[in-house]
Amino acid sequence: MKPTREARSIAVVINAGSRKGSAAQKLVAESLAKAELPVSAVYTAHGGGELRRTLEQAVSDGHDFVVVGGGDGTVASAAGLVAGTDVVLGVLPLGTANDLARTLEIPRDLSLACAALADGKVVDIDLGRANGQPFLNVASAGLSVAVTQALSPRLKRLIGPLAYGVATLRSYATHKPFHARLEFPDGDHEPVELEDLLQVAVGNGRYYGGGNAVSPTAGIDDHTLDIYAILAAPLREQAKIARSLKNGKFVENEQVHHLTSRKVRLVTTPPLPVNLDGEITTSTPTDFTVERNAVHVVVPRNSSSATFEGRS
């Protein structure tokens, strides 16, 4: 694909409702100008339905390069809109966790991230779908939903990524175990029945939850989903699992079931809400799929996170 400097029309969409969005608008504009990226239009939204409408407007206006500043949920929404098109997506990490930026090796410093947009390369990444809704990092049911609900905007503003740990401790104390059935439409695995669960997650990318790894081998362009289910267990065993979240080796624990597939259906008892990249947008039963090479995205020139293959 052609370099981003040669884009016909560049749009910037800022989620002012994200943790750093409102304060970063001036710096983003200055940094993009310094990087000599010819911005055609700037859109600002404040989350919710306004953000969705703004993203749709930016895409429908015909820009071939759309830079999105916000958290992982914001970027996932944008990715869902441009998937399968020739529009190139740029990412500015303005959220709390910024796990997609971590996966793609995009600098957290805004001026460096803007420079990477100008001098970087275009790669392909996969897009996960849960009942048709897009996600880039992880979709999950169980404890993670309670954690998301406990992550108040005030808590995230005050302590940033540390808010995930605080919210997790609060949520764990009131968690109720559940039953799940995993079904595999492609027949690559037999159905799995699991009782007394803490959480079930389906990963498309590599990182989630402020730097936790989905698994040691997970990648955002490997065309597969990593599925893991964590059984409820004594606090000592849960602490052992927690200590290996950062490198993904928790999937090797005997209290964790781990599989990979391109399609999986999750049925839970009772029905549960499902968290997609920090946004609760659907519920079980949930059909998960992966769209390979679905989104063109700019990463730093030295990033090894993905390659450009073209959609297939």
Residues 263 and 157 occupy one common structural domain: yes
Residues 97 and 154 occupy one common structural domain: no
The answer to whether position 308 is within a domain reads: no
The structure's pTM equals: 0.89
Average of pLDDT values for 230-247?
84
Q: What is the CATH number of the domain that holds 169?
A: 2.60.200.40
Tell me: pLDDT of 310 over 80. Answer: no
The answer to whether position 72 is within a domain reads: yes
What residues does 148 pair with on adjacent strands? Answer: none
pLDDT in tens, 78-112: 999 999 999 999 999 988 889 999 999 999 998 89
**Count of structural domains, the chain:** 2
Residues 214 and 248 occupy one common structural domain: yes
Residues 121 and 142 occupy one common structural domain: no
Which of 70, 120, 121 has the alpha carbon at shortest distance from 100? 70
Residues 100 and 151 occupy one common structural domain: no
Residues 198 and 245 occupy one common structural domain: yes
Residues 224 and 211 occupy one common structural domain: yes
Mean per-residue pLDDT of the chain: 87
- Contacts (Cβ under 8 Å, ≥6 apart) of 183: 191, 264, 265, 267
Residues 35 and 53 occupy one common structural domain: yes
Residues 141 and 286 occupy one common structural domain: yes
The burial of 310, by beta-carbon neighbours within 10 Å (0-12 exposed, 13-18 middle, 19 or more buried), is given as exposed
pLDDT in tens, 180-219: 999 999 999 999 999 999 999 999 999 998 899 999 999 9
User: How large a percentage of the chain has pLDDT more than 90?
Assistant: 59
Residues with a catalytic annotation lie at 279
- Confidence tier at 7 by pLDDT (50, 70, 90): confident
Tell me: pLDDT of 175 over 80. Answer: no
The answer to whether position 311 is within a domain reads: no
Amino acid 25: pLDDT: 76
- Structural domain boundaries, residue 122: 4-128+292-299
Distance CA 208, CA 139 (A): 9
Tell me: pLDDT of 166 over 60. Answer: no
Residues 35 and 138 occupy one common structural domain: no
Tell me: pLDDT of 155 over 60. Answer: no
What residues does 228 pair with on adjacent strands? Answer: 201, 258
The answer to whether position 196 is within a domain reads: yes
Average of pLDDT values for 306-311?
76
The answer to whether position 307 is within a domain reads: no
Amino acid 197: pLDDT: 95
Which of 250, 247, 226, 249 has the alpha carbon at shortest distance from 237? 250
Q: What is the CATH number of the domain that holds 50?
A: 3.40.50.10330
Average of pLDDT values for 130-141?
97
Amino acid 29: pLDDT: 80
Distance CA 204, CA 270 (A): 25
Residues 157 and 240 occupy one common structural domain: yes
Average of pLDDT values for 126-137?
98
Which of 108, 67, 107 has the alpha carbon at shortest distance from 91? 67
Residues 280 and 143 occupy one common structural domain: yes
